[in-house]
Amino acid sequence: MSIRTFCLLILIVSVVSCKEQAPKSLLEYVPAETSGVSFSNTLTEDEQFNIVDYLYFYNGGGVAVGDINNDGLEDIYFTANQAENKLYLNRGNFEFQDITESAGVSSPGAWKTGVTMADVNADGYLDIYVCRVGKYKGISGQNQLFINNGDLTFTESAASFGLDFKGFSTQAAFFDFDNDQDLDVYLLNHSVHTKRSYGRSTLRLDEDSLAGDLLLRNDGGMFVDVTKSAGIYTSQIGYGLGIGLSDFNFDGYTDIYISNDFHENDYLYLNNQDGTFTESIGSMITHSSRSSMGNDIGDINNDGLPEIITLDMLPEDEKVLKNSAGEESYEIYKLKQTFGYEKQFARNMLQLNNGDGTFSEVGLMTGVAATDWSWAPLFADLDLDGYKDLFISNGIVKRPNDLDYIMFLSANDFKVGNDEISDSALIAQMPDGKVENYLFRNQGGISFENVSASWAKLEKTVSTSSVYADLDNDGDLDLVVNNINDRAQILKNNQQGNNYLKVRLKGSSGNPNGVGTKVRLYAEGNLQYQELFPDRGFQSSTTKELVFGVGKSAKVDSLRVIWPGGGTQVLTAVEVNQTILLDMAQAKGLFEYEEEGQPPVLKEVTEQSQLAFRHFENPFVDFNAQYLIPHVISRDGPAIAVADVNGDGLEDAYICGASGNNGMLYLQNADGTFRKHSAETFRSNPAPEETAALFFDADNDGDQDLYLASGGNEFQPPNPRLNDRLFYNDGAGNFSLQQGALEENFQHGSVVIASDIDHDGDQDLFVGGRVVAGKYGQTPESRILFNIGPGRFRNETAGVAPELEHIGMVTDAVWADLDEDGYEDLIIVGEWMPITVFMNRNGKLEKADIPDLDKTNGWWNTITLTDLNGDGRPDFVLGNLGTNSKLQPSVDQPVRMYVNDFDKNLSLDQIITYSIGDKEYPLANRDELVKQMPLIKKLFILNMDFSGKSIDQIFQPEALSASKRYEAYTFKSIALMNLGGIRFEQKELPAVAQRAPVYAIASLDVNNDGNQDLILGGNMEWATPYFGAYDASQGALLLGNGQGEFSVPKASEAGLKIRGDIRSLAVIQSAKGSKYILVGRNDDVALVFSY
């Protein structure tokens, strides 16, 4: 053999070897030819029964896993809507045997939906409960219970157990709701559209025997209907598609979460421990998915608290997004709330558990909000790193929400109503909806990375139900997916390198699998928490084992097991990479659910303080005049100003009023309570919108006068209600309006702050301009007002700060001496603005070019002066929109706004855009643009002509280049650390500060450690339905470490639990020695906290 030939052989062997050792993806399909699982849920539509006749025709079947013969291997059962169901016996090594016929579980006929495996008769063998649809469109049949005979055969016995429900059934969940050590069942059902389905929310009180949910209590093996007495809704407006179980409030009793499609709220039933439930969605969750599909519950950030995810239909693909019906109009959205429905938006919702009985919705900031037409979410630690990842199945056979299809229906309404168009012709107008499923890797808390492409080679399918289970007993979780018109799929998990612990449970005699058991795992100081509730996702039932990934940990420090009923046990120093069996009989003692914690840092004392103020917002809706603006401008109050106005040594407060409602001055009493000052002092008829307030000594007489800025987006110049007002103080707290002290001005003021700009011994003013009323995007006028004495002010902007006059849409500003020259400099923030600094050069303000502040453009709401590291230099904390938004700008891909009169109708149009790759797309869809600019309808007849078009394919380049262009590079709220020498370092605030817009910041030392802490307030309900309500914050307390970094105490430890739109925070020294924090909320009562 020649050397050349030998080398060639070596090369070939090396290449082959490399190919053989090429890393596999985390998940890979097991071919049906290998597994033996050839099941397919094949649908056949005809003119008599199809998606037009039955709105849930494309919802698919279910899947359940469980060890039916107790051989240690998980078996699989699929339901088919029209064909026969299939049961596959696991023979090991991903090989399965179809035993459906011999087992007697095919369930022929009827329309099958969800399936559950549970030991219903508590004999140690898993039974199979199949949900079916009956009494509709010629479909007959009732739910079926296949009792396991212990010999791989089953006997249908639903009637014998009282489980032979006939109606519109979706899924059943077996659990012990009354802690009597047997399994009860919640039967989730769904409605179909009728005239009775629409109306006020009180319709949920009307019972419906076919569509209403049922709660059935296990009384000695017979299931008894206790729905009504238990407080469960059982009406025709319940469109139940998902059920989740968890002990949300950690009191030892199982609570219930129900996903409802369409207009009805989701339900969150808190268990009252007496056989009844209280529906609590409105008090615990601020908004939910509009078309809630499946749901899942799990602790995603390892804090021991369960989170909730619900799925909807928001597409990620730009073309599909613009061609799909999305959010409702603003008018319908608000109308539904007047009908008694909670806020709902068309996207996936991830509800983060705050631990105080409330949830914050963070789906957008975690990256899981848009996964198209989605069905089953599953939290499971697929890579065994200790954090739960997320699998989402999705797809639909045909898209009935396609906008062009809806347009076709509308155009042919008469023909459709008179059956002149066949159902098949209608269905042909719907586009196909096959898409890839989604896989998200948990990045260690509340951030997920889309790893669909890297973790698996996913195919386009219509995947509805799915489950996880360790099918090959190798310690990691595999996936099983039920598809429509395609074979079911098994995805084998190839995880290597991380360790696991698998827990099997032996419960009570009436609950052999220990359903409802809680397990806390501790490894290397990290906590994991799981509850055993197999029925989850969508129409499915997962494994009856708990699988914990522990990463590289070689040992589990301890396991705390809490059994249903409260029995508990602790295991220590548990070896990893094994399966352990825990027996309820070995539990010692009862777990103490009532744990006494430390008193909260902040305590609400509103009632004790006697400060009784309610802000009443006038009903003006900005969107009625400006269709394309992202949120309202006219709801930024109330502002609060604090000073000792009557010279008694106690601080007082003025709280601003909205248009038509005057503000109020509150004087502090010697006992720390407050009393109203004479309301007549500040009364104006009609009352203007008070947008900013400042106490300062205007006339140099030693007392605190009051400047009130005016504004509002409804008043057009020269409306006198836009004029600011100045009130002189007589030193005893009596104020009088000073006519002529201010020049006439018709701007919307957003902030007023005082400084002796020219060092002449009196206070001058900066007044920031927010917007030009009715012309969002046109730059308003900001002003420098020099005090020309006594207490009279003149606009000197053009002379002392010409670049400032039209600097942008200002929201807030502070004075601080940045260069230590004795003159205070001006720092300004605003919407679409960078952080902007004007240096004071001997009484003149010059805009500074500061590289550290380059490309800081955001939607800034507020800025607060502080010293976070105690170095004597002024630091700043800035509140932005936050990252919990559909818009996620960056320096490389900014959010933009083009402002121009594109259609030449003498009104401004605002075109907001975002980027995907190198393409820039309009935020608004075709219909929204048509509403503002009707000419768009002529340019794009169909939605499919418009969808997927970039901004330069919709508007002429000349029009875009002639537009005023705004950019935003960041929406993160930050701390801005002063490094000296006009240098700054930006530090992103913790995730809790990014959940919602921050409008108010208080800097203070709440724990007396010498470091400045922060209290943040925000939210913004009045955004367009496309954005949804920004309401994930309930106030946040950040504890500073003296280095510009912060820790976040638990919500229950902080003591903040504030709903609504917080617009101001003010710190007041109490007469009793403590300090008050005044909280101003838009269109709501003010609150007072103490520390």
Please write the tens of the pLDDT for every residue from 104-123.
Answer: 999 998 999 999 999 999 99
Domain annotation covers residue 496 = yes
How far apart are the C-alpha atoms of 380 and 365, rounded to whole Å? 20
How far apart are the C-alpha atoms of 642 and 637, rounded to whole Å? 16
Token representation of residue 737: 């309006």
How far apart are the C-alpha atoms of 122 and 752, rounded to whole Å? 72
Spatial contact of 77 and 117, defined as CB atoms under 8 Å apart: yes
Domain annotation covers residue 710 = yes
How far apart are the C-alpha atoms of 785 and 793, rounded to whole Å? 6
pLDDT band at 9 (very low <50, low <70, confident <90, very high): very low
pLDDT at residue 696, as a whole number: 98
Mean pLDDT estimate for the chain: 95
How far apart are the C-alpha atoms of 731 and 750, rounded to whole Å? 27
Token representation of residue 802: 């010409």
How far apart are the C-alpha atoms of 262 and 256, rounded to whole Å? 19
pLDDT at residue 413, as a whole number: 75
Residues 468 and 360 in one domain: yes
How far apart are the C-alpha atoms of 13 and 166, rounded to whole Å? 65
Nearest to 272 by CA among 223, 226, 240, 239: 226
- Helices of type H across 339-402: 363-366
Q: How do 499-506 and 578-583 pair as beta strands?
A: parallel
Domain annotation covers residue 248 = yes
Nearest to 501 by CA among 452, 449, 549: 549
H/E run at residue 16: helix 3-20
Residues 117 and 131 in one domain: yes
pLDDT band at 594 (very low <50, low <70, confident <90, very high): confident
Domain annotation covers residue 631 = yes
- Given a cut of 50, whether residue 635 has pLDDT beyond it is yes
Domain limit, last residue, from 445, 477, 506: 506
pLDDT at residue 196, as a whole number: 65
Which residues constitute the domain of residue 402? 398-431
pLDDT band at 410 (very low <50, low <70, confident <90, very high): confident
Distance of CA 780 to the CA centre of its chain: 33
Position 1026: which residue type?
Y
Tell me the mean pLDDT in the region 524-549.
98
Residues 197 and 117 in one domain: yes
Burial 893-908 (b: 16+ CB within 10 A, else e): ebbbbbbbebeeeeeb
Residues 761 and 796 in one domain: yes
Domain annotation covers residue 327 = no
Tell me which residue has tokens 């605190």: 704
Q: For the chain, give the percent of residues with pLDDT over 90.
A: 91
How far apart are the C-alpha atoms of 157 and 145, rounded to whole Å? 5
Spatial contact of 591 and 569, defined as CB atoms under 8 Å apart: no
pLDDT band at 414 (very low <50, low <70, confident <90, very high): low
Token representation of residue 157: 């016995």
Q: How do 255-260 and 267-271 pair as beta strands?
A: antiparallel
pLDDT at residue 687, as a whole number: 79
Residues 769 and 631 in one domain: yes
How far apart are the C-alpha atoms of 755 and 85, rounded to whole Å? 78
Spatial contact of 720 and 711, defined as CB atoms under 8 Å apart: no
At a CB cut-off of 8 Å and minimum separation 6, what does 614 contact?
1084, 1085, 1086
pTM of the model: 0.96
Residues 425 and 438 in one domain: no
pLDDT at residue 712, as a whole number: 87
Residues 378 and 425 in one domain: no
Position 437: which residue type?
N
Spatial contact of 97 and 36, defined as CB atoms under 8 Å apart: yes
- Given a cut of 90, whether residue 596 has pLDDT beyond it is no
| DSSP 8-state symbol, 834 | P
Spatial contact of 673 and 661, defined as CB atoms under 8 Å apart: no
- Cβ-in-10-Å burial (0-12, 13-18, 19+) of 572 comes to exposed
Residues 388 and 410 in one domain: no
Spatial contact of 314 and 388, defined as CB atoms under 8 Å apart: no
- Helices of type H across 934-1015: 935-939, 943-946, 951-954, 957-961
Spatial contact of 875 and 978, defined as CB atoms under 8 Å apart: yes
Token representation of residue 53: 């006749």
Residues 920 and 1018 in one domain: no
How far apart are the C-alpha atoms of 791 and 764, rounded to whole Å? 10
- Given a cut of 60, whether residue 304 has pLDDT beyond it is yes
Domain limit, last residue, from 488, 506, 524: 506
CA distances from 867 to 779, 935, 969, 977, 1006 (A): 32, 54, 26, 9, 15
pLDDT band at 172 (very low <50, low <70, confident <90, very high): very high
Q: How many domains does the chain have?
A: 4
pLDDT at residue 678, as a whole number: 79
pLDDT at residue 448, as a whole number: 98
Q: Give per-residue pLDDT as tens, 15-56.
A: 444 344 456 899 999 999 999 999 999 999 999 999 999 999
Residue 889: cis peptide before it, omega within 30 degrees of 0: no
Q: Give per-residue pLDDT as tens, 1038-1075.
A: 999 999 999 999 999 999 999 999 999 999 999 999 99
Residues 934 and 880 in one domain: no
Token representation of residue 572: 């220590």
Residues 751 and 771 in one domain: yes
How far apart are the C-alpha atoms of 1088 and 1002, rounded to whole Å? 13
Nearest to 359 by CA among 281, 289, 297, 284: 284
Tell me, what CATH number does 270's domain have?
2.130.10.10
Domain annotation covers residue 824 = yes
Q: Give per-residue pLDDT as tens, 190-238.
A: 999 876 667 899 999 999 999 999 999 999 999 999 999 999 999 999 9
pLDDT at residue 50, as a whole number: 96
Q: How do 540-541 and 63-66 pair as beta strands?
A: parallel
How far apart are the C-alpha atoms of 955 and 947, rounded to whole Å? 14
pLDDT band at 797 (very low <50, low <70, confident <90, very high): very high
CB count within 10 Å of CB 8 equals 11
Residues 297 and 256 in one domain: yes
Domain annotation covers residue 170 = yes
Spatial contact of 1017 and 1065, defined as CB atoms under 8 Å apart: yes
Token representation of residue 658: 């909205």
Separate counts of helices (H) and strands (E) for the chain: 21, 74
How far apart are the C-alpha atoms of 1015 and 1054, rounded to whole Å? 10
Domain annotation covers residue 518 = no
- Cβ-in-10-Å burial (0-12, 13-18, 19+) of 11 comes to exposed
Q: Calculate ∠ Cα 626-347-206, nearest 5°.
A: 100
Tell me which residue has tokens 């449970």: 505
Question: Terminal CA-to-CA distance of the chain, rounded, Å?
Answer: 89
Spatial contact of 264 and 239, defined as CB atoms under 8 Å apart: yes
1085 bridge partner residues: 614
Domain limit, last residue, from 481, 506, 531: 506
How far apart are the C-alpha atoms of 442 and 393, rounded to whole Å? 17
